[in-house]
Structure 1
Amino acid sequence: MSNQKESWGSRTGLILAMAGNAVGLGNFLRFPVQAVQNGGGGFILPYLICFVLMGIPLLFVEWSIGRYGGISGNHSTPYILDSMSKKKIWKYIGVFGIFTNIAVVAYYTYIESWTFMYVLHTLLGSFTGMSKEEISFFFDNYVNLSGSDFGIPLLPLVVYILVLGVNVYILSTGLGGIEKVAKIGMPLLILFGIILAVRGWTMGTSFASNEFPDANAWDGINFLWTPQYSSLADPKVWLAAAGQIFFTLSVGMGSIQCYASYIKENEDIALNSVTAGFTNEFVEVLLGSAIVIPIAAGFLGIDWVLENAGFGMAFQTMPYLFQQWGTTFGIIAGVCWFGLLFFAGITSSLAMGTPWMGFMKDEFGWGKVKGAVSFGIVALLMGVPTVLFYKYGYFDEYDYWAGTVSLVVFALLETILFAWIFGMDKGWVEINRGADIRIPSIYKWIMKYVTPVLLLLVFISALFTPEGNDWAGAIASFTDGRLYSLDPSALISKLTHEDIKLALSLSPEQGEYLEKKMFYSSLARIQLLLLFLGIVGIVWYSSVKRKKSSLS
């Protein structure tokens, strides 16, 4: 184990880096879609409650765990968690904190490469004069590797490697490089977001067309911000809100703990964690909700938005809409939109490299360059299949198992460790040591009881999702002593490919494609499992090495 002396250069840099870790593509792509699909204003209230009862407590837990482990010279979750309990199992549970980051960055960087290419195409005027359908085909052709762009075969793979290389280079400069990117990227991201949000707010009915005469940007804003208290009784909305909190705050990954491990012993973490969390919420709730949905509603109408809201809108719809503002402002808007997505992506992906680098530095004495390059090589080996086999679901498998399930499992286990094994009394002292604010004492109770229960409910809900996501019917069946049918999206159903089998039964004409999808989905899971087991093996070897070192 090395005596790591690296630390953050400034409090501002730390907060911006932590906020950049949390502020990612999900703030602008996933949040508005989740809000639309779960009732708009009916989603916001459960979302904010989940932020208070799960988001903030998890930030406190992860910042505290990170700083505590960093004091003893540990900068990645296997040995950060190991320092909090005498049980050897916790270092292996800490493997999630390295595994998740590598698996997520493998496909996350691919999305970053899309945003980079779309900035370039916007500047070159590639979308000028294209119809909605043509821009939609443009995206489909790109991600499915159909044809070549600029005469370069497999250009998406080339750009992916380039963007991953940029990440590796910045990581090789250490915390200082990450801090510089955060100080530049976060202000630009917010500036670009404000420009687009103001334009969206001021559209009104100015761009209603003959095809969509009732289009009004304010319909989108009103839909998102009109409270619907009935949603408080809908388990489906609560599950979606809790899932978005995980996704947006980057909790349950291991990157927050790693960043926090470089904080000085008595440096504040209470105010820092809250500031980073609320910065993320400002970007997500105020800016994330003010761009895609209002702008789309202003051109196409709220009914079109409700019917078509999805991840693809960012790349398949927005470029067309920006062109309707005229050539010059269309280019400005496109650069702002894809530029903010790029900065949101890279500030998050940089955080994903630090747990691996911290571990290799602590345990094997690897320097920044060697750690960054090795991280890039492993990420590349994991990521190339997500590019080549995107249309067969490789990307989706990574996102589900590493970017969703793994987060919930790890967050639940680390919360139990912090509140029940390390002990809430000791944990409370750790949170408040050097604090610049007074944390309400009710959070001690929330962190010990409410947060673990909510996390457990989220996991169980994902495990046993009822058919059609009909939680009201499932609860009624359960209380009557009857079993209910599981949805193909339930974790248990996913394990046996029930979602693909259902699609196969409904669309037998797509049999060849769906059989390939099942094959590549299984291959992706095997690759993820091998990655996890490989990291377990490295952690085991490091523990043997530590033991020998202590005896010599």
Structure 2
Amino acid sequence: MENKTLAKDAWGSRLGLILAMAGNAVGLGNFLRFPVQAVQNGGGAFIIPYLVCFLILGIPLLFIEWSSGRFGGKFGNHSTPFILDTMGKGRLWKYVGVFGIFTNIAVVAYYTYIESWSLSYVLHTILGTFEGMSQTQVAQFFDDYISIGSSTTGIPFEPIVFYVLVLILNVYILSKGLGGIEKAAKIGMPLLIMFGIILAIKALTLGESGKSIQFPDASAWDGLNFLWTPQYDSLLNPKVWLAAAGQIFFTLSVGMGTIQCYASYLKANDDVALNSISAGFMNEFVEVVLGSSIVIPIAAGFLGLDWVLENAGFGMAFQTMPFLFQQWGPVIAAFSGIFWFGLLFFAGITSSLAMGTPWMGFMKDEFGWGMKRGAWSFGLLALIMGLPTVLFYHHGYFDEYDYWAGTVSLVIFALLESILFSWVFGINKGWQEITDGADIQVPVIYKFIIKYITPLLLLLVFIGALVTPHGNDWMANINNLLSGHSWELDDSSIIKKLSLYEYKNQLMEAKTQLDREVIEDKIFYSNFARIQLVSLFLFIVLLVYYANTRRTKLFTK
């Protein structure tokens, strides 16, 4: 009975589908990563390349993934290995599709850990934990929370408890199928947007009222002006373009396989063009309008723009914002904290729910697993992969997952699927898939962009990540290369990351035995995290191989 139910799984409404797709895209990166990327890449200097990349990289990839998913769904495929297999002429494309399952399991393993921080911080806000704390104390509170040996609530192994609770909530909703995801999106997305609008209005009306004896030079308008004043010289800066293109991956959830899976449950002639643009622009509204109007203006309003430029980072959300909310008094601080961390939680869970569907679709299609069995097996895999990121957070485990699964894997998969769609499947057939049943007139220029510009830009992004120059100074290194000098790689380049060059260099320069032990510890856990990621990938490869063998036997009978 359970298998039959899953076989009939479908979206209940177009609104539910768009909200679920937008929820898949709207995630923690909209509020945590985008503002930081904007600040670190010159504020207004980042906006123009970012918006151009959205049009020539983001929209084309949305078209590719929505239409590919719907095409694969016509053949009863609901995960990327066999969606890509129906489009490609060779035997290897199904194994390229492994990225579409691997990435989701590896990312959700640590992504739900961040969700659990948000849920915990909602509780602490209600309890008034942050009242009277200094900025240093709030920052220290975060370090205490993620330390396994301490507890901020008295609950033993607190971070593990909250992590498991959030993971169970994800699994429970997933076990209800698309209907459960749709209901979660219809609740979570409106609340997320409402909370975001309230906080943005509060930030935008802060103006210079944040000035005080403690913060005499602070102004929210400095933050806004910095973010929204275009700087056209950025158009010639490769570093900014690479950062902008990279943000598009994070913000739209492309290169993961979740969009293809969601779209595979559409009917053969259901619109994909307008749906993909609607979900994409809803994400951009949340990111560009709301995401840029909360953290940076509030921080600039109280701490000043100079502090923001020097300290902008992922940790601001948890290590700085609770302190800033306290500047508004206990009542408004409580509401602001609930809205902020509630917003992050809903942004997180609507994305993590999407990450479970490729695995569930694959196991249902190939092995007849029902929704409950698929959801709980996904949860078990996520727990096995994710528990080390909780236990060994301070040892770099979390960062290894985020870099290889949440960054590099996305770029590789997006590059390969764009080549498949335009050059193997064929741009003419691909364009037909995009426009079939379309409720809008898709500009024909996108046919050229999808075939040439998008793959080229993705290739440049990958090469840029592979050979990132020292200091991320592209122009200086290009000039050095033209002058006959060598290309000096940055420690953040994929090549140096692979060799753990940064840690090994630190090991050589370590002056004490204690320093050497700390660095050796990081090397050990980095290698262990990579072994775990590679093992997961190979495990899925074996499953795909076995599933293909089963298909071949059934076909020959």
Match of 1:109 in 2: 112
CA contact (8 A) 2:431 2:447 kept: yes
> 2:108·2:355 contact (CA, 8 Å) conserved in 1?
yes
Q: 2:169 aligns to what?
A: 166
In the TM superposition, what are the counterparts of 1:489-528 in structure 2 within 5 Å? 489-505=492-508, 508-509=511-512, 510-528=515-533
Distance 1:478 1:453 in 2: 22
1:468-547 to 2 correspondence within 5 Å? 468-505=471-508, 508-509=511-512, 510-547=515-552
Q: Shift of the alpha carbon at 1:86? A: 2.5
Distance 1:50 1:86 in 2: 30
Q: 1:281 aligns with which of 275, 284, 307?
A: 284
**Distance (Å, rounded) in 1 between the aligned partners of 2:29 and 2:207:** 26
Deviations 1:71-107 (A, max 9, x none): 1100000000000123110000000000000000000
Paired residue type of 2:527: S
- Pairwise CA distance, 1:320: 0.5
Partners of 1:184 and 1:7 lie apart in 2 by 19
Matching residue within 412, 431, 434 for 1:428 = 431
Partner-residue secondary structure (3-state), 2:429: helix
Structure 2 residue 52 is the aligned partner of structure 1 residue 49: yes
Instruction: Give the whole-Å Cα distance in 1 for the aligned partners of 2:51 and 2:453.
Output: 15
Cα distance change, pair 508–281 in 1 and its aligned pair in 2 (3 A): farther
AA aligned to 1:500 is Y
Match of 2:363 in 1: 360
Matched AA of 1:542: A
AA partner of residue 66 (structure 1): G
User: In structure 2, which of residues 403, 428, 453 is the aligned counterpart of residue 400 of structure 1?
Assistant: 403
Query: Which blocks of at least 5 consecutive residues in structure 1 are unaligned?
Result: none
Per the TM alignment, residue 146 of structure 1 is displaced from its structure 2 partner at its CA by: 4.2
Q: Residue 165 of structure 2 aligns to which amino acid in structure 1?
A: L
Query: 1:551: Cα distance to partner?
Result: 2.0
Aligned counterpart in structure 2 of residue 39 of structure 1, from 42, 53, 56 = 42
In 2: Cα distance, 1:514 partner to 1:209 partner:
42
**Distance (whole Å) between structure 2 residues aligned to residue 506 and residue 336 of structure 1:** 46
Structure 1 letter corresponding to 2:368: G
TM-fit CA distance, 1:475 = 1.3
Q: C-alpha distance in 2, partners of 1:161/1:271? A: 38
Q: Does 1:548 align with 2:556?
A: no
Question: Relative to structure 1, is the Cα distance of residues 508 and 58 closer, same or farther in structure 2, using a 3 angstrom cutoff?
Answer: farther
Q: Which residue of 2 aligns with 1:148?
A: 151
Contact 1:4 1:73 in 2 (8 A): no
Indicate the residue corresponding to 2:141 in structure 1: 138
Is the Cα–Cα contact under 8 Å of residues 51 and 245 in structure 1 kept in the other structure?
Answer: yes
Q: Is the 8 A contact 1:504 1:511 kept in 2?
A: yes
**In the alignment, does 2:444 pair up with 1:463?**
no
- Pairing 1:351–2:354 present: yes
Show the 5 A alignment for 1:100-499. 100-499=103-502
Deviates more, 1:541-550 or 1:501-510: 501-510
Q: CA deviation at 1:47?
A: 0.4
Counterpart residue identity of residue 324, structure 2: L
Deviation for aligned residue 1:195? 0.4
2:90 aligned with 1:87, yes or no?
A: yes
| Inter-partner Cα distance in structure 2 for 1:166 and 1:390 | 22
Post-superposition Cα deviations, 1:258-304, rounded to whole Å, max 9, x if no partner, equal 00000111010000000000000000000000000000000011111
Letter matched to residue 490 of structure 1: S
Partner SS for 1:83: helix
1:145 CA displacement = 2.4
- Paired with 1:480 and 1:445, the residues of 2 have a C-alpha distance of 36
Q: CA deviation at 1:148?
A: 1.9
Q: Which amino acid aligns with 1:532?
A: F
Paired residue secondary structure (2:328): coil
Q: CA deviation at 1:481?
A: 3.7
Q: Deviations for 1:157-177, whole angstroms, at most 9, x for unmatched residues?
A: 111011000000000000000
Contact 2:144 2:152 in 1 (8 A): no
Question: Match for 1:497: what amino acid?
Answer: L
- For these two proteins, the number of residue pairs brought into alignment is 552
Residue of 26, 29, 53 corresponding to 1:26: 29
Contact 1:488–1:502 (CA under 8 A) maintained in structure 2: no
TM-score where L is the length of structure 1: 0.99
Q: What are the Cα deviations for residues 386-406 of structure 1, in whole angstroms up to 9, with x where unaligned? A: 000000000000000000000
Relative distance call for 1:236 and 1:142 in structure 2 (3 A) is same
Query: Residue type of the partner of 2:471?
Result: G
Q: Matches of 1:204 and 1:67 in 2, distance apart?
A: 47
Query: Which secondary structure state, in structure 2, belongs to the residue aligned with residue 289 of structure 1?
Result: helix
| Structure 2 counterpart SS, 1:324 | helix
Query: Identity over aligned residues, as a percent?
Result: 69
